[in-house]
Amino acid sequence: MLDGLDPEQREVATALRGPVCVLAGAGTGKTRAITHRIAYGVRAGILQPSSVLAVTFTNRAAGEMRGRLRQLGAAGVQARTFHSAALRQLQYFWPKAIGGSLPRLVDRKIQLVADAAAACRIRLERGELRDVTAEIEWSKVTQTVPADYALAAAKAGREAPRDPAEIAQLYAAYEDLKRGRSVIDFEDVLLLTVAVLQDRHDVAEQVRAQYQHFVVDEYQDVSPLQQRLLELWLGDRDDLCVVGDASQTIYSFTGATPDHLLDFRSRHPGATVVKLVRDYRSTPQVVHLANGLLSQASGRAADHRLELVSQRPAGPEPVYTEYADEPAEAEGAARRIRELVDAGVPAAEIAVLFRTNSQSETYEQALADAGVPYQLRGAERFFDRPEVRKAVSSLRAAARFGGNDSLLDDVVDLPSQVRAVLSGEGWTTQPPAGSGAVRERWESLAALVGLAQDFAAAAAGATLSDLVTELDERAGAQHAPTVQGVTLASLHSAKGLEWDVVFLVGVAEGMMPITYAKTDEQIEEERRLLYVGVTRARERLHLSWALARSPGGRASRRPSRFLKGLRPGSGAATGRTAAGGPGGVERGVGSGGAVAAAVPRRTQRTPARCRVCGRTLTDAGELKLMRCEDCPSDMDEGVYERLREWRALQAERSGQPAFCVFTDKTLMAIAESVPEGERELARIPGVGARKLNRYGADVLAICAGQDGVGLDDDD
């Protein structure tokens, strides 16, 4: 179990008792370390497989962990997501703790939110519907009830997509609708499990008797609700191993926080802390850029960053390319990808990563024009595809009645059986020419063939029935195999994945960092997001940006500030040494010892104060104005009235209430500051990226004193 582990990974694998914190940089083999840790404990007789619960954040990661544990001889260990583990417990204990059957779980809450909006007579655009749904999810994972939403959002510095009072109203109506229809959502699964474990000590003791040892991966991403559930699972015990990297915290908008990871030693003074910094994924050139990005970071996560040390041979330097416009950037990336594929690089080992999903369409078209197959991560689920469902049905039938199938007469090994069955579904040894639906179907079947080969290699003697069981488990967990095509993905959805070649596109101001990232904390999370993108690359890394959005447009864009001092010709880097220090092990010294004393305390957020009288502000409307309601206003009355007239016209045209364009408070804030440019306008609460793009030009023209703004010739 310990052969092939480096010294720090071996420390992880052998630290089987007491609290353990693993600070693991990108590409340092954390999954290998923790799966070997569990398997070592099982093989040594220290851990019973059924008493171990390993939790992570994605079905794919949980599926990968289960597969590795099975190969290491530790089958029987539960490896699940937080939601999956909680749902399993809730289904089991509901009849005993509550009575009756568990309410139906809704897969997607957005339709319920739309129904709640209709009940409140509030009209939401598609983008607003998605944003309000996200606000409800954030509220629930931070354990915020509707009545407290406005204050909680203000304290957290969230930029609400609608007036906070409206969101609170929608949130309350959404909860009422769920109760009326006897359904629950994914956040309810955690909330209800927490409630049952808190209220029913007999149930809590039964769960704790089942699970004595816990491993939590990606611990920097836990929400307050998930942390509470973990504490209830643990009780008064401390057999806990957490693994994470504060520099990869990129989901704070969902309620995730690295504080639980960073405060681990203060909560567990006797903890063993192991730092993994040997990077086995990326070349020294890629690692150098990744370290350089974080060396310029600030904030608490940056104070605990890890300096990675590449363990791979040297590779090519990252390539930086500037394009005239976005279509040219997409065509340039597609052209280079075509050259790589022609040179023998598998398409599945190439990824194009972007900041927002809206950027994907341009690259889909460019790759299709170049004749390069691609897959869009986050699109239709693999096991929901019609050709995959039909193929699995054929494999299931062959497993049951294969003796009567002439296709299987001359084949013995599992991969050959799968190829024979899927040949009847359209799979061939050579892919069809071009792209489109025929190619996509072939790619899906080829992925099943590849999965069968991997499964047979990992499980000697595996039968077709064993493979069908594996496919059913993967379908339940949505653990899809690799499809042969270039991956198009947002930076957020690329977390946990890696490729030989990565194209980071749109690395320009306004996109990286994104326009609506205004506070220091938001800017630093954007930097960490780019860091995650960089560390997805094993060998080759291409970074690019466009000076204009469309051909012939004004070339006003600039490369991202995050690249300053790192790309050639952008000045000298001004970084700092990693405070996290080199890899190694720190032993806990017991309660009140030196290690606990050395952990920095969490700094408090500076309260917002009235710019007139200096009083602390908590009301959402006052926070928007940055002054008390009754303090004197320096608003330009003329600008305010013209903004109101313009807003009324926009509302009439769109057929929605005036406050859906901008609330009164936002108009007042604009009239008080009278912004001269987009950057100043974007800083005003209530002016998000969508409204800036839609209304920014009109608002700035009004502020500049121009007449006739917002009127067409026909008007």
Average pLDDT of each block of 10 consecutive residues along the chain (715 residues)?
89 89 93 93 90 89 87 87 92 88 85 90 82 89 89 83 88 92 90 92 92 93 91 91 92 84 88 93 95 88 86 94 93 95 93 88 86 74 77 86 64 83 82 61 81 82 85 71 81 91 94 85 92 96 92 88 86 56 59 35 46 58 65 77 88 76 84 86 80 87 77 44
Q: Is 252 exposed, middle or buried (0-12, 13-18, 19+ CB in 10 A)?
A: buried
Residue 270 tokens, joined? 């006797």
CA dist 236 to 18, 50, 71, 341, 512, Å?
A: 12, 20, 33, 55, 44
> Three-state DSSP class for 197?
helix
On whether the CB atoms of residues 671 and 665 are closer than 8 A, the answer is: no
pLDDT value for 2: 86
Q: Is 257 annotated as a binding residue?
A: no
Listed residue (452, 456, 432) closest to 442, CA to CA: 432
Alpha helices by DSSP H, 157-283: 164-181, 186-199, 201-210, 224-234, 259-262, 264-267
CA 686 centroid distance within chain: 25
Burial label, 705 (beta-carbon count in 10 A; 0-12, 13-18, 19+)? exposed
Tokens of 585: 């092990």
Q: Answer yes or no: is 79 a known binding residue.
A: no
**pLDDT attached to residue 654:** 75
The verdict on whether residue 362 carries a ligand-binding annotation is no
Helix, strand, coil shares of the chain as percentages rounded to 5? 50, 10, 40
Q: Is 81 annotated as a binding residue?
A: no
**593 among the known binding-site residues?**
no
Instruction: Say whether 28 counts as a known binding-site residue.
Output: yes
pLDDT for 590 equals 47
Quote the pTM value: 0.69
